[in-house]
Structure 1
């Protein structure tokens, strides 16, 4: 019977790769910008309720600016420290013999 930990052992303090960070930031940008279209469409649909249409238009105005700021913000470095892996975890369990 093997005794495995639920969480994997952290053996490095390396940050996620640049490509992973870039794809996550692109997804955030696309999500934020895709929220602008429904706001503008709803503003047109609710044109007879002027205050609601105005609120939706005003909500959509800062979205591109916020999307750029959030997408260009790199994630902070993790403060986790690498954990020491035990020799048993490296070589396998006693039951594997």
Structure 2
């Protein structure tokens, strides 16, 4: 197991593999809670506890809501920093400028093709 430093000495973003690992852990945790809801629902039915419909509704809500939330959280990434947003905006601006310049230079004249319909002679 890796030892984590006790003091953060850099402003660098977490590596993509670290981000992925933490998202995987959150996903597995949430899906384990979902499996726990399924098991708890089965145990509650067999024990016939008081307020059984309420407990079953809560377990069912957990089994329906948790997969949706787990996928959203697992696909989430940390927000971009100001520098990353500025770099993205500058790259977009360069691409748009390059496209505009290439469109202005390479505007060919449209080609029109006319065809005359020639009817065959009807006289042999």
Q: What TM bracket, shorter-length normalisation?
A: 0.5 to 0.7
Structure 2 unaligned regions, length at least 5: 1-5, 83-124
What residue in structure 1 maps to residue 33 of structure 2?
35
Q: TM-score of the superposition, structure 2-length normalised?
A: 0.50
**Cα separation, 1, equivalents of 2:57 and 2:8:** 52
Is the Cα contact below 8 Å between 1:28 and 1:71 reproduced in 2? Answer: yes
| 1:75 counterpart = 2:78 | yes
Following the alignment from structure 2 to structure 1, what is the Cα–Cα distance between the partners of residues 38 and 8?
A: 48
Change (3 A) 1:14 1:46: same
Moved over 4 A (4+): none
Q: Is the 8 A contact 1:40 1:60 kept in 2?
A: yes
Unmatched runs of 5 consecutive residues or more in structure 1:
1-6, 80-97
More RCO (CA 8 Å, sep 6+): 1
Greater Cα radius of gyration, structure 1 or 2: 2
Indicate the residue corresponding to 1:57 in structure 2.
Answer: 60
How many residues end up aligned between the 2 structures?
72
Q: What is the alpha-carbon distance in structure 2 between the residues aligned to residue 13 and residue 20 of structure 1?
A: 15
Alignment root-mean-square deviation, CA: 2.2
